[in-house]
Amino acid sequence: MTSLGIEVGACPAQYGRTGGDLFGKEGSDPMKTRTKLGMVATVSAIAMLATVADARHQWRKYEWAYDGTEIDAPVIDNTSGGGWSTRVAKAVNDWNKSSRIEAQIPVPKGTNTNCNFVLGQIQVCNADYGSTGWLGIASISINGNEIIAGYTKLNDYYFNQPSYNTEDWKQLVTCQEIGHDYGLAHQNENFMTDATASCMEYTSWPEGNTTPDQHDYDQLEAMYTVSDGTTGGGGKGGKPGGKPATLPSVGNTPDSWGNPIEFLPNGKPHVYERQFKSYRVITHVTWTIEAAAEQGDHHDSGPRQHSGDRHFDF
């Protein structure tokens, strides 16, 4: 849980920010309220019902190997320009506040700009990935349910546009995708609400949602509790003294991510699975607000359960 030498504020003391309505939560910031008023027309198209934030938000049963010591998989910063290195360092420092994580960002910076998987590591990359509809993606390579590698991609195509070219949006997505790489899902998946003070939330108002909150740290403690007998805390990839093995990135569009396996209440897929010979790749997508509002083809009746104990009625 060491500091990476940057100034980071304390995590919010409260678990959630509820009360009031969409246009002005109790104790909310007036500027944030005015921002919400201007975005209601777009957000309403998503048509999601309110959900309750839940501390039980492990991403299915995906987790790194755990031997009782902190998860030390290094986070490799392959980003360039635009202040991304500062955001990556802040996100890693925030996740290191968990008693279960002790990641370092090796120096010098990485050069894996394609963001190929490297066993035992988490890669972070940025680029103009084009009009793909997503702000960020987190992909994990898994063997069974064990995470063996991960990466985060941040899409400058949207972050260079006025709607998303803010520090709050950029930090929220950076924090959230790295959180997925550790095996966390979302506390809340309703873009029409702002139910938590966590980056592990879908929301249309990123202000105040740029770091993990206590729910996230509690979930990591619950996940990484019983040693599975492995060594290295999940962070030792490749042969001793050798170069860690690599696996290719699965690409930047849904047709390369495999089959959709989890969906938003409007039928829009946001989690995909692709099977390879000896491993699987799971990709979690943070869509733009506009892309998330698009109606998907998947519809169920009655409550739908996503990972953990979170239920969604629609």
Among the listed residues 212, 188, 191, the one whose alpha carbon sits nearest the alpha carbon of residue 287: 191
Average pLDDT score over the chain: 78
List residues bridging with 24 in a β-sheet: 21
Give the pLDDT confidence of 158-199 residue by residue, as tens digits. Answer: 999 999 999 999 999 999 999 999 999 888 778 888 888 999
Taking 90 as the threshold, does the pLDDT of residue 79 lie above it?
A: yes
Contact 68, 237 (CB under 8 A): no
Q: Which tops the pLDDT comparison, 267 or 31? A: 267
Domain span at residue 162?
Answer: 61-292+301-312
In a domain, 41, yes or no: no
Q: Return d(Cα 232, Cα 70) in angstroms, integer.
A: 9
Q: What is the predicted pLDDT for the residue at 179?
A: 96
Q: Return d(Cα 278, Cα 271) in angstroms, integer.
A: 20
Calculated CA dihedral for residues 21, 27, 29, 35, nearest 10 degrees: 0
In the chain, the number of structural domains is: 1
List residues bridging with 152 in a β-sheet: 124, 138
Residue 73 backbone dihedrals phi, psi, to 5 degrees: -55, 120
Contact 33, 23 (CB under 8 A): yes
Give the pLDDT confidence of 87-109 residue by residue, as tens digits. Answer: 999 999 999 999 999 999 999 99
Q: Return d(Cα 288, Cα 164) in angstroms, integer.
A: 9
Average pLDDT over residues 69-73: 95
Q: What is the predicted pLDDT for the residue at 299?
A: 54
Q: Quick one: pLDDT band at residue 296, thresholds 50, 70, 90? A: confident
CATH number for 267? 3.40.390
pTM of the model: 0.77
In a domain, 39, yes or no: no
In a domain, 45, yes or no: no
In a domain, 155, yes or no: yes
In a domain, 15, yes or no: no
Among the listed residues 255, 82, 45, 38, the one whose alpha carbon sits nearest the alpha carbon of residue 174: 82
In a domain, 109, yes or no: yes
In a domain, 262, yes or no: yes
In a domain, 184, yes or no: yes
Q: What is the predicted pLDDT for the residue at 118?
A: 97
